[in-house]
Amino acid sequence: MKTILVKTSTSQYPVYVGSQLLSKLGSLFQDLSLGGKVLIVTQKKIAKHFLKPVQQSLKQKGYAVFVHEIPDGETAKSSKELFGLYRVLLKHGFERRDTILALGGGVVGDLSGFAAATYLRGVRFVNIGTTFLAQVDSSVGGKTGINLPEGKNLVGAFYPPKFVVSDVALFQTLPDREFRSSLAEVVKYGVIRSGELFRFLEDEADKILHRDERALEHLVLESVKIKAQVVASDEFEARGERMILNFGHTFGHGFEQATGYKKLLHGEAVAIGIVCASRLAVALKMFSEVEEKRVVALLQKFDLPVSLSGLSLKMASVLQAMQRDKKKSAGKLRWVLPTHIGDVLVRDDVPLPLIRKVIREAGGK
């Protein structure tokens, strides 16, 4: 097991990365002497595979363990589920020193993290990310929240966990498309911060696709290190550094929204977004064509989409969706663009005709 410390403005929390870690959970709790009660928030599918060892490990160390299942899917990040969760906590008499333990992907983590941030103005929060996306992205950085009918993640809080457990053995049960789509986020980390990580992805693609645990452990470790560094320099997304994590996402969110969140998984939309952002950088003469081709080839190795073909996406709806992107500054879209594999710049002076050209070349109509 390896440990990465994520610094926050007031303290720091460990992310434990390894394999077969669930049985160690009780000891990890004890090391931090958290309170006596634990509410595990999870989903049916996940509980089937992983609930028992988590419960056992906690009970062995004397914790009173409760379980609350939430429905599957993005709609579970709702006020209804949030208030349901508060009532379960009240019913079992949870106090500030007790813990909400998220056992799931980003949906479980975001909802239960926000409940932890707000119930009694804050109870303890521990996150076990069970998806690849949760381990490389959502479980680190302290963002929690729910959706409103008007849009995603519109209500939330920055609320760091006490610790995070990232067990790569849990990926074995993930559906293939889900697993591959999260690799787009890892490619993102390589392009924005680490030529070495990018090369590792190129060299070890076969092992990664076969879910070799050592290779996956390396990917999670390196991704968490990069996200932790970026987040430590801009915890509350106020200064701009955190913006670089948005590489591929301005286009990606546009594609996701314009397809009604139905045809593309998040990571797939990000993969096409990474291609578009790389081509935009080439058009602006910031990035070489050779490196752009390497980026496209790597995404293709992971069988991720690199164009919009077959989606019949209208230019106007993509542009409109991108305009709604939260990460604008004074009404201007900001673009995270690579200068080399391993380095990016943020620009807000990209002419609209160039953006249209890139989307058209990717297959937008």
Ligand X SMILES: NC(=O)c1ccc[n+]([C@@H]2O[C@H](COP(=O)([O-])OP(=O)(O)OC[C@H]3O[C@@H](n4cnc5c(N)ncnc54)[C@H](O)[C@@H]3O)[C@@H](O)[C@H]2O)c1
Given the complex with ligand X, which of 32 and 154 has the nearer CB atom? 154
In whole angstroms, what is the distance from residue 243 CA to residue 253 CA? 14
CB of 45 vs ligand X, minimal distance in Å? 4
Given the complex with ligand X, which of 267 and 338 has the nearer CB atom? 267
Amino acid at 288: S
Can 185 be counted among the known catalytic residues?
A: yes
CA 12 to chain centre: 19
Three-state secondary-structure class, residue 5: strand
Residue 131 is classified by DSSP as S
Q: Which of 11, 45, 75, 354 binds ligand X (CB under 6 A)?
A: 45
Name the active-site residue from 77, 188, 225, 266.
266
Q: Which of residues 162-181 bind ligand X (CB under 6 A)?
A: 170, 173-174, 178
**x/- contact string, 48-87, with ligand X (CB under 6 A)?**
------------------------x-x--x----------
In whole angstroms, what is the distance from residue 313 CA to residue 163 CA? 41
Name the active-site residue from 188, 193, 227, 279.
227
Q: Which of residues 218-277 bind ligand X (CB under 6 A)?
A: none
CB of 228 vs ligand X, minimal distance in Å? 12
| Closest CA relative to residue 40, chosen from 123, 128, 121, 106 | 128
Q: Which of 14, 18, 106, 190 binds ligand X (CB under 6 A)?
A: 106
Can 266 be counted among the known catalytic residues?
A: yes
Q: Are 92 and 66 in contact (CB under 8 A)?
A: yes
CA atoms within 13 Å, Cβ hemisphere of 89:
28
340 contact partners, CB below 8 Å, separation of at least 6: 195, 287, 291
Q: Which of residues 319-348 bind ligand X (CB under 6 A)?
A: none
285: its two tokens: 């003469």
Can 121 be counted among the known catalytic residues?
A: yes
φ, ψ of residue 127 to 5 degrees: the values are -125, 120
Chain residues in the site for ligand X (CB under 6 A): 43, 45-46, 72, 74, 77, 104-108, 110, 130-131, 133-134, 137-138, 141, 143, 153, 170, 173-174, 178
**Catalytic site positions:** 121, 143, 185, 227, 237, 242, 246, 249, 253, 266
